[in-house]
Structure 1
Amino acid sequence: MADTSTPPLKHILSLSGGKDSAALAIYMRDRVPDMEYIFHDTDKELPDTYEYLGRLEAYLGRKIIRTNFGTTFDHLLRTKGGMLPSNHRRWCTEYMKLAPFEAYVGDGPCVNYVGIRADEKRVGYISHKPNIKAVFPFIEDGIDYTGVLDILNRSGLGLPPFMTWGRSRSGCFFCFYQQKIEWVRLRRKYPELYEQAKAYEKPNRTNGNIFYWCNDESLTDLEQPERMAEIERNWEKKQERLKSQPKNVPLISTLGGRAHEAQQESACLICQL
């Protein structure tokens, strides 16, 4: 006789390796005792991300479940004819993040905890599967950017290591949403990863065109010393302009001397939470 019983309700919090999802995991640790923490591993993450997740795992006292997408990025790239993902072709998010999440959840009832803050104007990834209900504890409880920093600092976990050398987001080391200043910093911090990203910029099988991670500039051109210096000068000038025109900047950013986080409306939301 077939089993017609309803599967148990799952409570799932997806971790990106970034500050917001880490803060949410800490915030929810003692509120939902049977929470499942999952990380969708692309195998193209920064070393900093894996190190940060290890520290978070120790704090939570729970195993972070690592999902995978059943193949490799290189294989997916070949199936796409060598066309690199971009903001117009976000197949990396679809295959490497969203599909593993929905496969892990399955068809049983699930509450998905999403780390969008109360001060953000975005929705984030919400599954269209009827068995998955998204909830937003930070929005419900009015926790903003300052509140997230407070949670991380009080826990002793602090910010992800990649933020100390100037990367603003988690996700793959070759993420096309990186600003050019972040590519420069990747080149200086992890030159071997920069070389790996650069190696993907080659003619594709479909039409022979070369796709660049930065859309209009190759990583070979970007890494030229004079070009990197120009990007750094432009970034510093921009920061000076922002400092002279502060608008709604959290007090903790001003006192701490840290540049306030700019909104990244177009980024892969499931990657950067």
Structure 2
Amino acid sequence: MSKIKHVLGISGGKDSAALAIYMRDHYPELEIEYFFTDTGKELDEVYEYLSYLEGYLGKPVQHINPDRDFDFWLTQHNDYLPSPQARWCTIKMKLKPFQDWVQGFLDDGYEVHSYVAIRADEPYRTGYDSSDEKLIIKLPFREDGIDKPGVMDILENSGVGLPSYYEWRTRSGCTFCFFQRKIEWVGLLERHPEAFKEAMAYEKEALANQTPFTWSERESLEQLSRPERIAEIKADHEKRVAKMKKRIKVNPLRPDGEPELDMDDIYGQGKMCVMCHK
């Protein structure tokens, strides 16, 4: 029989956390190694959430760090900011460290089963595309019919709950993730002003070197952070929330409560990085 290594990547987001809990509770016979690919630019809340999750899992989440940090790769790309069109951050700081880590198991003769938190209500999403026949991608939520409400039930019933940053953002990963919505950038400014200031400094340096992209689409962070612009973004957000609350069905288990909405409900899930966001 071949040796099998079970691995599960945790991003700091709700889906991968729920999958880790689900696998622990439903497949306790599997000796799973949990890992987190650390960019070094994560929110403090992400690290706090990982600690809560470790407590439930009863084992540590291994941090896989890239060989080089964000500043190194930014220099290598001539201050060319990562963007949806050029996601070098995902390749250099997420995929490559994962590939190198897994390759060690493959070289030792293991067949590696990698569990990915793609839900049953996400038929359009795929996991990591492996070219090695001994690296097998498994999608337990899709196979077992678990959708977003199912994920929420797993987190609630376990007592782990949602990451605290879900109060204002649904994107885990780097503080300056370019997939953030405008209101999430405002949230970063208000809750983590130093991280926002760092993102602005990166952007100013990139623009000085004629990069074609800003972190947020069609405006710089300097423009976005102006008081009048923040007021516009917040007003638009409130309109979206009010509109969604009128459309959403009341949960019969919580008839007296407010509809439970996150940023994906309000704005649509849109583009994202599976390695970071899930």
Provide Cα deviations, 1:82-116, integer angstroms capped at 9, x if missing partner.
Answer: 01000000010011111111111113411111111
Residues 69 and 91 of structure 1: CA distance in aligned 2, closer, same or farther (over 3 Å): same
Provide Cα deviations, 1:22-43, integer angstroms capped at 9, x if missing partner.
Answer: 0000010141431000000000
Aligned to 2:54: 57
Aligned to 1:134: 137
Residues 7 and 39 of structure 1: CA distance in aligned 2, closer, same or farther (over 3 Å): farther
Give the deviation of 1:75 after TM superposition. 0.5
Residues 205 and 179 of structure 1: CA distance in aligned 2, closer, same or farther (over 3 Å): closer
Give the deviation of 1:201 after TM superposition. 0.9
Partners in 2 of 1:208 and 1:85 — Cα distance? 14
Partners in 1 of 2:253 and 2:236 — Cα distance? 25
Query: Between the two proteins, what is the percent identity of the paired residues?
Result: 44
Give me the TM-score of the superposition, normalised by structure 2: 0.89
Partners in 2 of 1:158 and 1:201 — Cα distance? 34
Partners in 2 of 1:57 and 1:217 — Cα distance? 39
Partners in 1 of 2:231 and 2:39 — Cα distance? 31
Partners in 1 of 2:44 and 2:252 — Cα distance? 31
Query: Could you say what the CA RMSD is over the residues aligned between the two structures, in angstroms?
Result: 2.2
Partners in 2 of 1:49 and 1:219 — Cα distance? 23
One-letter amino acid of the structure 1 residue matched with residue 60 of structure 2: K
Provide Cα deviations, 1:247-268, integer angstroms capped at 9, x if missing partner.
Answer: x887679855222534424211
Q: 1:12 aligns with which of 3, 7, 22?
A: 7
Residues 39 and 230 of structure 1: CA distance in aligned 2, closer, same or farther (over 3 Å): same
Q: 2:203 aligns with which of 201, 204, 227?
A: 201
Which stretches of structure 1, 4 residues or more, deviate above 6 A after TM superposition?
248-254
Partners in 1 of 2:254 and 2:102 — Cα distance? 37
Aligned to 1:192: 194
Contact 1:122 1:265 (C-alpha < 8 Å) held by counterparts: no
Aligned to 1:117: 119
Aligned to 1:145: 148
One-letter amino acid of the structure 2 residue matched with residue 147 of structure 1: G
Contact 1:201 1:210 (C-alpha < 8 Å) held by counterparts: no
Residues 167 and 252 of structure 1: CA distance in aligned 2, closer, same or farther (over 3 Å): farther
Unaligned runs of 5+ in 2: none
Aligned to 1:28: 23
Aligned to 2:178: 176
Unaligned runs of 5+ in 1: 1-5
One-letter amino acid of the structure 2 residue matched with residue 75 of structure 1: F
Provide Cα deviations, 1:63-86, integer angstroms capped at 9, x if missing partner.
Answer: 111101101100100000101000
Give the deviation of 1:207 after TM superposition. 5.5
Q: Which sits farther off after the overlay, 209-218 or 71-80?
A: 209-218
Partners in 1 of 2:260 and 2:5 — Cα distance? 38
Residues 89 and 230 of structure 1: CA distance in aligned 2, closer, same or farther (over 3 Å): same
Partners in 2 of 1:41 and 1:252 — Cα distance? 38
Structure with the higher helix share, 1 or 2: 2
Equivalent pairs, count: 266
Q: Secondary structure at the match of 1:56?
A: helix
Aligned to 1:42: 39
Give me the TM-score of the superposition, normalised by structure 1: 0.90
Q: Secondary structure at the match of 2:40?
A: coil
Contact 2:81 2:211 (C-alpha < 8 Å) held by counterparts: no
